[in-house]
Structure 1
Amino acid sequence: MDTILYPIMWIIAWIMSGVHSLLVTLGMNDGAGLAWVLSIVGLTIVVRALMIPLFNKQTKAARLGQQLNPEIQKIQKKYKGRKDQISQQRQQEEMMALYREHGTSPFASCMPALIQMPIFFSLFRLLYAVLPLSQGSYMRPAIGPIDEKVAQHIADSTVFGAPLTGSIGTAKSFSSPTAVITVAVVLIILMILTLFFTQKQLMTKNMPDSALDPSNPAYKMQKYMLYGMPLIYIFTGTTFQIGVLVYWLTGNIWNIGQQTWMLNNNPTPGSEAYRKRQEKLRRKRLAKGLPAEEEENDFLAGPSGQRVQPLGKARSKKAASKVEPIPAMPEDEDEVVEDTEVRGLDGLTDAERAQKRYERRLAERKRSQEKKNARKNKQQNNKKDRNF
């Protein structure tokens, strides 16, 4: 397995060594100690930071899957009760055609987890190789910058007395088996709690009401993650080294921070977090004296969706002179012509609304120019004072 994972192990070794060198430069001890423990934390941060674009794609894919849920349920209802192979195959083909039509797949939201698995197992194998590497009995003389001397430093580094290379299964081979077991159990409990908090927050705050149907596949998956993953932690956590558990726990804490940012800034439309954010933005607008609902800035986009370049002062006046005024309604009731234009909730037609946006834009440019002139005059006055 080390032969297959060696390229990833080599990259991980260099990242850990780079973080360790940075911590030593900042004043930490060069050798066995806390710097190597924090290098695993730094490794987690580097990996998760590089995966942010993939996380954004995962979020878009998950939301698109929620939007497609009604169509998926229609297909499932269409083939409900049909257990023959042909019906099952046709159901699968229709669902995959639906995903292809919208440019996604049912596995798109699982990509971050799938990509992390090789990194996770490579770190496991790297820490497993530290002891034989420090004793000179490994099949290679070094893994990147981690040679026999550096491997000995990593092997002697501890977390509250538990070596980074120790695990519950191998605790008896270390001088302090109680410390290894205790630290490992505490880390596993913290991993379970952080994962449960993340999944519970996702289900209760960031899923639209339409997706909270127990028959929804996405809801079933989240429910499985809520109760199934802690059990996996219990059974697998006993075999992983303390260093791997530190990596795992750091990743869970990163997920909490990332998800909290998403709930506050980019929640799923229709979810509880989205309603709270909209209410918060509404209060801010009212506090500034603005309308409760933000109007769309249609003047920023043309018919083809491309941005229209702002006009200069001279061109703005020229364009304003070409705008036809809105004709007044005749006073005589017999001359009243039925208004064929559709009026919105604000009582305005599209032309009247566009005129108001245009006038507001001109006023904003005028205020901006006045502020610019005021700053320029202030700078000139300050210059005169200094010359005097």
Structure 2
Amino acid sequence: MIGLLVVLSGCSGDVTAPIKSGDIGFFERILVLPVAWVMQFFSGLFNNSFAIGIIITTIIVRTIAWPIYAKSNDLSIKMAVAQPEMNRIQAKYATRKDPESQQKMQMELMAVYKKYGINFFGCLMPFLQMPIFLAMYQVVQRIWIEGGMYADKVQNMKFLGIDLAKSGNFGLILGQDGDIAGWILAIIVAGTMFFLNHLAQKKPSYAKNTAAHGPQSAQAEQSAKMMKYMQYFMVIMMFSISLGSNSLALYWVVGNLYSIGQNMINRVINERKYYAMKNKDLVG
């Protein structure tokens, strides 16, 4: 999900143009301008600090998107509760490959989905967050550009000795001018992203007991391996992009830390929900 967001961020339009109100597109009017207004508002409260604006706005945007995140988590809990029944149905028809038996299996699985209120539309819920995050990406990159409507509200670009107008870039390796602070930020981005990926892939205790039994197929093993390589690639990609913008790196650090905390909190909530649903199912 985050990897797709990074890729789409590069396709989200011109990030070198200042933010203006005039003749703008629908996406910019309904999302970019409101996010920019929130950022400049909080920056203005703290001596026009761009960094404070980024931090507070990131927290607000991620919190607004939390219900969408929670909704997709509800689907995974329901799937975990329903998994034993689904496993039994699949085992029942494992050796019966004729069309009639396969149709019966699908009907029985559909009955299980209905019983537990499983709606696979929930799989699409995370994508609803993407326009909000893309707007945030645009604002971080453009709000401070000279000539923009809020540029004067975020003119304090220093934060803990870091100049957010600069970038780490690869010049430092070549012995040219480079911002060491930018490299440190980029390394933190990569580190937090790596930890977040590890946390996201780690199954909660209740899910370990509900996984399908039996050895993994060669295709499943290959998919798992590809997923791991993709995660490493995304960490490297985010590190490289972060070197091009200290402000973007700060945004990603804050976003990653928020997501780590969000993941940990949701694990506790999900475990309680799982056992509540499990007990209800046993009583029923």
**TM-score, scaled to structure 1:** 0.48
Please state how far the C-alpha of 1:59 moved relative to its aligned partner.
2.6
Q: Which whole-Å CA distance do the structure 2 matches of 1:158 and 1:126 have between them? A: 18
Please state how far the C-alpha of 1:95 moved relative to its aligned partner.
6.1
Of 36, 56, 62, the match for 1:42 = 56
Q: Judge conservation of contact 1:17–1:39 (CA < 8 Å) in 2.
A: yes
Q: Which whole-Å CA distance do the structure 2 matches of 1:223 and 1:93 have between them? A: 33
Is 1:231 aligned to 2:233, yes or no? yes
Q: Which residue of 1 aligns with 2:211?
A: 211
Count the aligned residue pairs: 245
Q: How does 1:1-388 map to 2 (within 5 A)?
A: 1=13, 3-6=25-28, 7-22=30-45, 24=46, 30-31=47-48, 35-73=49-87, 74-75=89-90, 78=93, 99=113, 102-106=116-120, 108-109=122-123, 111=125, 113-130=126-143, 133-134=145-146, 136=147, 142=149, 146=150, 148-150=151-153, 153=155, 156-157=157-158, 160-164=161-165, 166=167, 168=169, 177-179=178-180, 181-199=182-200, 202-205=202-205, 207-211=207-211, 213=213, 215=216, 228-240=230-242, 241-264=245-268, 267=271
Greater RCO between the two (CA within 8 Å, min separation 6)? 2
SS in 2 for 1:211: coil
Q: Which whole-Å CA distance do the structure 1 matches of 2:71 and 2:106 have between them? A: 24
Q: Judge conservation of contact 2:166–2:179 (CA < 8 Å) in 1.
A: no
Q: Judge conservation of contact 2:32–2:139 (CA < 8 Å) in 1.
A: yes
Q: Which whole-Å CA distance do the structure 1 matches of 2:128 and 2:172 have between them? A: 30
Q: Deviations over 1:92-150 (max 9, x none)?
A: 89867764664333452552x4233222222222233346x40x3xxxx53xxx1x423
Q: Which whole-Å CA distance do the structure 2 matches of 1:89 and 1:165 have between them? A: 61
Please state how far the C-alpha of 1:44 moved relative to its aligned partner.
2.0
Q: Which whole-Å CA distance do the structure 1 matches of 2:103 and 2:172 have between them? A: 50
Q: Deviations over 1:169-190 (max 9, x none)?
A: 8999xx9533365134313322
Please state how far the C-alpha of 1:209 moved relative to its aligned partner.
1.0
Compared CA separation, residues 67 and 19, structure 1 to 2 (3 A): same
Q: Which whole-Å CA distance do the structure 2 matches of 1:187 and 1:15 have between them? A: 26
Q: Which whole-Å CA distance do the structure 2 matches of 1:267 and 1:222 have between them? A: 24
SS in 1 for 2:271: coil
Compared CA separation, residues 47 and 102, structure 1 to 2 (3 A): same
Compared CA separation, residues 243 and 81, structure 1 to 2 (3 A): farther
Q: Which whole-Å CA distance do the structure 1 matches of 2:65 and 2:203 have between them? A: 22
Compared CA separation, residues 79 and 66, structure 1 to 2 (3 A): same
Equivalent position amino acid for 1:163 in 2: L
Equivalent position amino acid for 1:210 in 2: T
Q: Which whole-Å CA distance do the structure 1 matches of 2:203 and 2:192 have between them? A: 18
Compared CA separation, residues 266 and 101, structure 1 to 2 (3 A): closer
Q: Which whole-Å CA distance do the structure 2 matches of 1:238 and 1:253 have between them? A: 19
Q: Deviations over 1:5-28 (max 9, x none)?
A: 312111211221232234x2xxxx
Please state how far the C-alpha of 1:232 moved relative to its aligned partner.
1.2
Q: Which whole-Å CA distance do the structure 1 matches of 2:103 and 2:131 have between them? A: 32
Compared CA separation, residues 64 and 171, structure 1 to 2 (3 A): farther
Please state how far the C-alpha of 1:69 moved relative to its aligned partner.
2.7
Q: Judge conservation of contact 1:41–1:250 (CA < 8 Å) in 2.
A: yes
Unpaired runs of 5+ residues, structure 2, are 1-12, 15-24, 277-284
Compared CA separation, residues 103 and 205, structure 1 to 2 (3 A): closer
Q: Which whole-Å CA distance do the structure 2 matches of 1:235 and 1:91 have between them? A: 43
Q: Judge conservation of contact 1:120–1:244 (CA < 8 Å) in 2.
A: no
Q: Judge conservation of contact 1:167–1:242 (CA < 8 Å) in 2.
A: yes
Q: Deviations over 1:264-292 (max 9, x none)?
A: 45525778xx9xxxxxxxxxxxxxxxxxx
Q: Deviations over 1:230-283 (max 9, x none)?
A: 421312442353333323322332233334334445525778xx9xxxxxxxxx
Q: Which whole-Å CA distance do the structure 1 matches of 2:169 and 2:102 have between them? A: 45
Q: Which whole-Å CA distance do the structure 2 matches of 1:223 and 1:42 have between them? A: 37
Q: Which whole-Å CA distance do the structure 2 matches of 1:176 and 1:12 have between them? A: 33
SS in 2 for 1:56: helix
Q: Which whole-Å CA distance do the structure 1 matches of 2:178 and 2:73 have between them? A: 42
Compared CA separation, residues 270 and 149, structure 1 to 2 (3 A): closer
Root-mean-square deviation (CA, aligned residues, Å) is: 4.7
SS in 1 for 2:210: helix
SS in 2 for 1:103: coil
Equivalent position amino acid for 1:251 in 2: G
Please state how far the C-alpha of 1:60 moved relative to its aligned partner.
1.9
Unpaired runs of 5+ residues, structure 1, are 25-29, 275-388
Q: Judge conservation of contact 1:171–1:181 (CA < 8 Å) in 2.
A: no
Q: Which residue of 1 aligns with 2:279?
A: none
